[in-house]
Amino acid sequence: MTLSFDHEKLEVYQAALGFVAWVEPVLQELPKTMAVRDQLDRASTSIVLNLAEGNGKFTPADRCRFFDIARGSALECAAALDVLVAKGRCDSAAVATGKAHLHRIVSMTVGLIRANSDYRLHEGD
């Protein structure tokens, strides 16, 4: 019998794990002293952790708070990839796949926020 947690069933959680797997080789190629490397590692991990924690909360407001953080971390990852391009550490074609992952994660996270909040303004409204 395989045990699973509710957050593991979320498509966005699986997509976030996919991004973590995608970004790991990118991180390995960067110097450990490079600030954006550490930030990208932390932010990509934050997406996964906040989706899991938010999904386990009992009230919609608590869930939304963690989903907001996950969304912000995904946007931070996109900006970090832009920084890598600007610094000449990656070319834009190389980060396009990662940014596509992140776009999908942000869209799905916004969907979770909308599903859990009747009163908030939403992106695209």
Q: How many CB atoms lie within 10 A of CB 29?
A: 10
Q: CB of 85 within 8 A of CB of 92?
A: yes
Tell me how far apart the alpha carbons of residues 87 and 15 are, in angstroms, rounded to a whole number.
27
Q: Does 119 score more than 70 pLDDT?
A: no
CATH number of 10-116: 1.20.1440.60
Burial profile 50-86: b = 16 or more Cβ within 10 angstroms, e = fewer: bbbbbbeeeebeebbbbbbbbbbbbbbbbebbeebee
- What's the pTM value of the predicted model, to 2 decimals? 0.91
| Domain spans of the chain, in order of start | 10-116
Percent of the chain past pLDDT 90, that is, above it, reads: 90
| Helix, strand, coil tally for the chain in percent (to 5) | 75, 0, 25
Tell me how far apart the alpha carbons of residues 85 and 89 are, in angstroms, rounded to a whole number.
6
Question: 2 or 39: whose pLDDT is higher?
Answer: 39
Segment of 1-5, 41-45, 114-118 carrying the highest mean pLDDT: 41-45
Q: What are phi and psi of 124, to 5 degrees?
A: 90, -5
Tell me how far apart the alpha carbons of residues 18 and 12 are, in angstroms, rounded to a whole number.
10
Tell me what pLDDT residue 125 has: 47
Q: What is the pLDDT of residues 59-80, one digit of tens each?
A: 999 999 999 999 999 999 999 9
Q: Given phi > 0 = left and psi -120 to 50 = alpha, else beta, which region is 88?
A: left
